[in-house]
Structure 1
Amino acid sequence: MRALIAALLLAMVGPSLAAETVVTDGDTLKLDGTIYRLDGIDAPEIDQTCLDQSGDVWACGVTARDRLSAYIGNRAVRCEDKGPDPDYKHRRIGICSIESEATTLNEWLVREGWAIKFEPYARGRFAAAEADARENRRGLWKGCFAEPRDLRRWNLNGARLIGGGCQAGHENRTRDKLFRVDSAMPPGCPIKAKLALRAVGYEGIYHLPGCGSYRRLKRTNRWFCSEEDASAAGFRKALTCR
């Protein structure tokens, strides 16, 4: 009986272990109701597009999510909780790995080219993995992409473009392809958002499918899967949604 109680207490205070893992984007997991953003890395946003080695646009954010989900499969995942996410109040920072594997999912994503190191939070931990992915042109590095943080800020003019497919002298044209206002809705992410100067104190306004303004909105800067994601990115709900 004492051994059973000790095991239960250890499970309560130790890293979380869940039989089912839901991957919501390239660097975010949900385990038994707890959402973890993978510590020290940055994957493409779910609505982000990139250029492949031929210069064609592709849905790299959706692909990064799907590759992580496929890699995990039905295997159990363990996450070490590193505390609350400073940007998303309902999310935790985690270092996660598949049960019995030494390599973390954080490092795997960077090494396979589906995420980049996110300084200063990475603290140099993933520099070697990123250099290897870049040199071997894995994942995103085959083509050209904007840093996810620049897409989140819609930093069109100052975005850092990286990848083996980026061509010097074509930065402006490339940015026009990467920062699109006509991108298709990512699967399961129907919330439209548009940058708006009139949204004082916010980046812009988001519109839910049931809002009166939803169908009228023709130009969309961002797509979100939940209101929490839209709010955390600095967008407020459209007045027509109330």
Structure 2
Amino acid sequence: MGLIQELAGMVGQLNFVAIVHEYEQGLYFRGGVVIERRVRGIKAGDLAELVAEEREVQTKVGRLRGAFRRRAPGLPEGYQVTWSGRVRHPHRFSKVLRPGVYFHLPFVEHIVTDSRQERVLNLGFISVLTTDPGPDCRAVVISCNLRYEVMNLYRAYTAVYDYEASLRYHTLSILAQKSLGKRYGDWQEPPTIAALERGVIDELRKIVTDKWGLKIHQVYITDVTDARIFKFVGDQPMAPSMGANLAVSSTPLVP
């Protein structure tokens, strides 16, 4: 009786269907590999262009059958061939699932979904030193937010590990690099902040958009603060995690 109950419970947990909602994208895994699926609902104008290009390619390569279907000379990269020998444009297929209902085999296949809605990521803050000489050199604390969305789920999942954490660390690294070499007075000028935001966005898009499939909408530098930190630990050195008292005095530079 116990074995029957276990089998019934296992069968009840099997999932043969997955839904990709309108606000999501999906990936269809089979044997650990993302497979392409036919794109549903291609617009009439786009479909007419695809059909015209397919006819042109079909005329050049002819009807492909048997062993020659996959390696026919002149077959453009990305084109697929049906069992009947007809060519199909690569834009008819995609590794990113559109909204809809998808059936799959348990254990062998599974579907991963993620939101494609815009997100605002709180990046926290970094501190950099100004280039003022001698005692005028100060530590400036910069707070930053980022607005982005997942444009291509396949690249976001396969090109980088944990795309949100990687996006956070990569953005902070770029922000730190582009914040160096400035005097204390520079941080009081709004054009400095605007130029820094543009520079971070331009540098981000080279990697994050082109390779990771993430669309960057805006970088917001929310606060720039002149921070003075004093540590009082008595006669013996003590790590902050062991109970040291920290007093922080900060003066905002940019409202």
Give the TM-score taking structure 1 as reference length.
0.23
Q: Which has the larger radius of gyration?
A: 2
Greater share of helix: 2
Greater share of strand: 2
Give the TM-score taking structure 2 as reference length.
0.22
